[in-house]
Structure 1
């Protein structure tokens, strides 16, 4: 039986990522679309005949099994909590929440409505990341992970909500950094962070020349960004693994490159590829395994750009039917948002000479 699904939000993610994939997927039946903007609703041509509503008030447990929420970051918790509280389950792509307080709100709504929150993060569902994950057991005791997603030019349109702290929560750390942290958890399992040090910079965010040309974000007239375009950090997990992270919307690099290196007592595995949809990408993913001075290439599946989003949907119906999933997404999101909060606290306190001790 198909999952009766509503798409909430017809911005870039709802319009380009989720709606067409849901319409094509056998497990889902798109029964409603929600967006308050008449222009956005008028542009709907992927799902002809599907009812379009200006608010989520029309979505009820009697009519909808799942709401795919694709609204700006600052509305994630508000919209999702409202749906969960009245019994409608929600699939919400990262970032699930912007603060620990919002995580508490979502948890309370999930309990009150008896619904389930499912969280999405595309990068862990990539085939090349899956190939890297299969190497991890061969690496012995994991000691360190290096995470990076560095774009050459890829800042969302200046003045749009992505570059406004009040609406996005932050900059590239909430955007690309959340993907990297979710990928880390998918490779090593979830863990808390006992130490966090971070710095941010905004050298490019105000210049149009460094924008993401492939995105069709709406710009605010005369708007400027007040978030970071680059975040660099060093963390220690409670299992003793150290982690370095760099996320950059723009840089002086020639191509957009994502890199994950996992260092263990028995070897080092490294994946170089390009996450996301940028056309300025590496032609092929490269995965290597290094042991005792010898580096060998490991075969990596080649797949169309964006396949990871469809792969998320392949398992979503089963997760929705599993009562054991309730509460899990919020618990994982709480860990991620806490490390981001502590990262920003460290970045604001550049005079501090010792790492920020985080939530125990």
Structure 2
């Protein structure tokens, strides 16, 4: 028996990720689509779907899972309303925009006696899983360096409107980076944080997204295109962060470096769907002055989303999964909030 899914939102994430992924996965059947925009609904082939403007028509008797892929500012509101009905919910990143929203989601999950799952796609990349495996042999972790910098790729639309997105590149690309680092930190809370923001590329049309036409337009916006942060956990681990929608770099590069008492692991790759990529992933292990390459399995772009879907069937029925996603999200959004609060001093 397949899992009946309601997809809430027909925006960029739904069209580029969830519609094709759900259509091709044998464990899931897309039965319902929700979007308030009549044009978006009419553009969908709805011959085998229930297509509705709001989640009021979504009930636990008709769906087994709701995937929320609406604009950021609606994630908490929609997920809470579905959870309290007793419907399991998967929320695209960012799961929430504040610690207050994290608290609301935590309570809704309890009230509905169901499970909230969160978008953590980067954790399921083959290269990140290899990095996790290598990091287990690095001794005590001392520092993590996180970077995802695009040559160009400033999105348009609601992504650059703070009231709809919750922020700029820090909450967009930064969420992926911090969510990837969280398992390495063992849940240790943030003790200190500092951050800076800038928007030197936001108005440059040459720096707009080129790999998707529906992401490239829109007004200038009021968010940052570049964010830098430095965190220290209560366990004394430092974390540096750099996220950029655009830069002076020639290609888009993601770098994650884990420094431990017994060695350093460094991964260079490119997250996301950009066509301006650095090439395949390169993972190295540095110890005692010797750098050794580590083999990483090749996989197609976007394979991490399929791998995350593979796990959902078990997560929906495992009581131990309740509360895990919101605790992860709460840690990530706390780090982001602290960086924004620190950066506000310099604005």
Q: Which TM bucket (shorter chain)?
A: over 0.9
- TM-score using structure 2 length: 0.97
Q: Is the 8 A contact 2:31 2:48 kept in 1?
A: no
Q: Cα distance, 1:178 vs. partner? A: 0.5
Q: Cα distance, 1:17 vs. partner? A: 0.2
Given the alignment of the two structures, is residue 207 of structure 1 paired with residue 204 of structure 2, yes or no?
A: yes
Deviates more, 1:255-264 or 1:207-216: 207-216
User: 2 CA distance for matches of 1:302 and 1:44?
Assistant: 33
Given the alignment of the two structures, is residue 125 of structure 1 paired with residue 124 of structure 2, yes or no?
A: yes
Matched with 2:311 is: 315
Question: Which one of the candidate residues 247, 250, 272 is aligned to 1:276?
Answer: 272
User: 2 CA distance for matches of 1:146 and 1:178?
Assistant: 14
Matched with 2:26 is: 26
Deviates more, 1:323-332 or 1:190-199: 323-332
User: 2 CA distance for matches of 1:135 and 1:30?
Assistant: 37
User: 2 CA distance for matches of 1:152 and 1:218?
Assistant: 16
Q: Is the 8 A contact 1:156 1:215 kept in 2?
A: no
**Residues 212-227 of structure 1 aligned to structure 2 (within 5 Å):** 212-217=209-214, 223-227=219-223
Q: Which runs of 4+ in 1 moved over 6 A?
A: none
- TM-score using structure 1 length: 0.93
Q: Cα distance, 1:241 vs. partner? A: 1.0
Given the alignment of the two structures, is residue 178 of structure 1 paired with residue 163 of structure 2, yes or no?
A: no
Give the 3-state SS of the residue equivalent to 1:217 in structure 2: helix
Question: Which one of the candidate residues 296, 301, 321 is aligned to 1:300?
Answer: 296
Superposed CA deviations along residues 19-56 of structure 1, whole A, max 9, x for unmatched, are: 111121111111111111122122224x7511111111
Superposed CA deviations along residues 223-260 of structure 1, whole A, max 9, x for unmatched, are: 22100001101111122111100000000000000000
User: 2 CA distance for matches of 1:322 and 1:191?
Assistant: 25
**Residues 20-169 of structure 1 aligned to structure 2 (within 5 Å):** 20-45=20-45, 48-157=47-156, 160-169=157-166
Matched with 1:261 is: 257
Q: Cα distance, 1:275 vs. partner? A: 0.2
Q: Is the 8 A contact 1:12 1:216 kept in 2?
A: no
Q: Is the 8 A contact 1:125 1:309 kept in 2?
A: yes
Given the alignment of the two structures, is residue 187 of structure 1 paired with residue 188 of structure 2, yes or no?
A: no
Q: Is the 8 A contact 1:6 1:31 kept in 2?
A: yes
Q: Cα distance, 1:331 vs. partner? A: 1.8
User: 1 CA distance for matches of 2:260 and 2:323?
Assistant: 32
User: 1 CA distance for matches of 2:132 and 2:99?
Assistant: 29
Closer, same or farther in 2 for the Cα pair 1:165/1:2, shift >3 Å? same
Indicate the RMSD between aligned Cα atoms, in angstroms.
1.5
Closer, same or farther in 2 for the Cα pair 1:220/1:214, shift >3 Å? closer
Closer, same or farther in 2 for the Cα pair 1:211/1:141, shift >3 Å? same
Q: Cα distance, 1:179 vs. partner? A: 0.4
Q: Cα distance, 1:166 vs. partner? A: 0.5
Q: Is the 8 A contact 2:226 2:242 kept in 1?
A: yes
Superposed CA deviations along residues 171-213 of structure 1, whole A, max 9, x for unmatched, are: 0010000100110013343221101010010101122211111
Q: Is the 8 A contact 1:74 1:98 kept in 2?
A: yes
Q: Cα distance, 1:218 vs. partner? A: 5.6
Q: Cα distance, 1:58 vs. partner? A: 1.0
User: 2 CA distance for matches of 1:202 and 1:134?
Assistant: 36
Q: Is the 8 A contact 2:144 2:258 kept in 1?
A: yes
Superposed CA deviations along residues 301-348 of structure 1, whole A, max 9, x for unmatched, are: 111111111111010111111112222211221121111111111001
Deviates more, 1:160-169 or 1:184-193: 184-193
User: 2 CA distance for matches of 1:306 and 1:102?
Assistant: 28
Give the 3-state SS of the residue equivalent to 1:76 in structure 2: helix
The runs of 5 or more residues in structure 2 that have no matched partner are none
Number of matched residues?
347
